[in-house]
Amino acid sequence: MQGCDCTGEEVRGISMKSRFHVRQPIFFFLFLLSFFVQEAFSQDGKSFLWKAQSERSTVYLLGSIHLLKKENYPLNQKIEDAFNNSNFLVVEANIQDQDKRNPETIMARAIYPANDNIAAHLSLDTYELLKKEAAKLDLPIEMINRQRPWFLSMALEAMELLKLGYDPGYGLDNYFLSKASGQKKILELEGLDEQINLLSNFSDHEQELMLLFTLKDLQRAAQEVDQLVQAWKSGDIKGMEAIIAKSPKEDLRLTPIYEKLINERNRKMLSKIEDYLKGHAIYFVVVGAAHLVGEKGIVEALLKKGYRVEQL
């Protein structure tokens, strides 16, 4: 399942129906960032929380669950303790910052002008698949014809997840941003503008691949939920990684998109996290779980650089 780390409140759907209005796009664009959980702890006490240390600083890395249900709370006390002991909260983008949320600006990057439509930018096969999946969501194709593929990719996934009962309003990002409000300084690894720019600047070909990835992923979303839940609950890093990398391995055309949405962003995020580790404070970083696992993930990169890193 896909989630751009982008993977809140800016996009909960799509603008063609009032119930699918713009809320928070960033949490639905990342590859496979729809991480479902029943509990935030595993049978052996492990969770998707890591503690990275230098000689002077500590950085907690929490694999972000961007969509949750109300019953998924309370969280594991280890996660709450790590947050409480931290001086700073770090998120991919501060979605609760009203000054940075401008739906009109987002829609200007997401919608084709009146004389253009998505059919002119997709292959016939992808367009036919889009119509098929839109019908399953009771969404007439006429209502989405002016959506650009990058935005439509996020919107369709958001709708599917909402249909399954998961809500960005209960996501960890919102949860910790609310807890930090007025209590801790909030920092960003990227910011909403940077993430929107990344997506909207994709070429037509890249946007079609992104949409194709989402459309194929929707077909097996329900079947993979249990696997994602179990991988999360058990702290199964390899299991989660296998699910995340499944679609790119099955369709090599998706590799460049995976590289841009995950690996390239990993390197940029890593640079900021290293800056935190050079400081004299404790940071609590909430980042999409897809960015933490794998050989090119942030956790492995920190280990290779010699930092002390342990999964909690």
- On whether residue 96 sits in a domain, the answer given is yes
- On whether residue 32 sits in a domain, the answer given is yes
- On whether residue 12 sits in a domain, the answer given is no
Q: Report long-range pairs for 236-241 (Cβ below 8 Å, ≥24 apart).
A: 236/42, 237/293, 237/311, 240/35, 240/48, 240/289, 240/293, 241/293, 241/294, 241/297
CB atoms within 10 A of CB 197: 13
How do the pLDDT tens digits run along the chain, 312 residues long? 444 444 434 444 333 333 333 333 444 343 333 333 333 333 346 888 999 999 999 999 999 877 777 877 888 899 999 999 999 999 999 989 877 777 888 888 999 999 999 999 999 999 999 999 899 888 899 889 999 999 999 899 888 878 888 788 888 899 999 999 999 999 999 999 999 999 999 999 999 999 988 888 887 776 776 677 667 767 788 888 888 777 777 778 888 888 999 999 999 999 999 999 999 999 999 998 889 999 999 999 999 999 999 999
Q: How many domains does the chain have?
A: 1
- On whether residue 5 sits in a domain, the answer given is no
Q: What are phi and psi of 38, to 5 degrees?
A: -105, -35
Structural domain including 250 reads: 18-311
pTM of the predicted protein model: 0.83
